[in-house]
Amino acid sequence: MNAVRRGIFALALFLAVTGCAKQVISPDSAPTTGASVESAPSRNATAARLATRYLGAPYVWAGASPSGFDCSGLVMYAFHQVGVAVPHNAAQQFRLGVPVARDRLVPGDVVFFNQLRHNGIYLGDGRFVHATKPGGVKIARLDDEWFRTRWVGARRL
């Protein structure tokens, strides 16, 4: 009987520990593209690629759809497509994930500027996609003067 109790305890402990490690995606935030749950780096890179599909979409204040985006709306929309729920606010998005040094950026990291009033998704090679007024969704370079001088940080979701 003692061995049975130890076995049940070990199974319960295993389920408790592994249950915490699982990624839970609610139906509201499930991938809408039919993609399977990916590793975070792959998933984030996919979000970055998806955001580039909307190059040329207009800037719309508080916009979060292909008919028009603001900066945090583009980030929210792209990450939602890969099953990650983020708020529609750059400052709130900055509280998520883990900080990333500028020289350690990988595609899919979220980059922040101008006292957390602007953000975008890093693409690699010093480039990121963002929604801006004027211009809508476009690609810019981190080393462009405006972005270089207003850099706040980056987060990996």
| Helix ranges, the chain (H) | 2-21, 40-52, 71-81, 90-93, 145-149
**Given 20, 80, 88, 130, the catalytic residue:** 130
**Given 20, 71, 80, 88, the catalytic residue:** 71
Produce one character per residue of 113-144: b if its CB has 16 or more CB atoms within 10 Å, e if not. beebebbbbbbeeebbbbbbeeebbbebebee
Known active-site residue 88: no
Beta bridge partners of 64: 69
SS3 category, 11: helix
Which tokens hold the place of 134?
Answer: 């004027």
**Given 20, 80, 88, 118, the catalytic residue:** 118
Query: Amino acid letter at 24?
Result: V
Distance between CA atoms of residues 90 and 112, nearest Å: 8
Would you please indicate which residues are annotated as catalytic (active-site) residues? 71, 118, 130
